[in-house]
Amino acid sequence: MKKFVFRVHAIRRMFERRISDDEVKHIIKTGETIEDYSTDMPYPSALILGWIKNRPIHVVLAYNRDDNKYIVVTAYEPSSKIWEADFKRRKQ
């Protein structure tokens, strides 16, 4: 079973953006990794795209191998001003 740690920043942003922890966990389990940040420090991370009903959500998730824990860094609804229509690619 995966262990999740929600950073204080993530909790604040999720509250502001009306994204629940259950929704974030659902996105992590069912979403698609659209960007890989394997060189991030102190832990490698990734950007995951998932959907809650018709609402796209991005979750930044890091992985602490030493503790075998997944760290939720932030979660947000991507803007169509920055992202392509599929929310998988940034606009050029």
In a domain, 31, yes or no: yes
Q: Is residue 72 part of a domain?
A: yes
Q: How many domains does the chain have?
A: 1
Beta bridge partners of 70: 4, 63
Q: Sheet holding 3-6: strands in order across?
A: 3-6, 69-76, 55-64, 45-52, 32-37
In a domain, 60, yes or no: yes
What's 38's domain CATH number? Answer: 3.30.2310
Q: What is the pLDDT of residues 6-54, one digit of tens each?
A: 999 999 999 999 999 999 999 999 999 999 999 999 999 999 999 999 9
- Whether residue 9 is contained in a domain is answered as yes
Q: How many CB atoms lie within 10 A of CB 80?
A: 11
Evaluate whether residue 85 is within a structural domain. Answer: no
Residue 18 sits in which domain range? 3-76
User: Distance between alpha carbon 3 and the CA centroid of its chain, in Å?
Assistant: 15
pLDDT of the residue at 2: 76
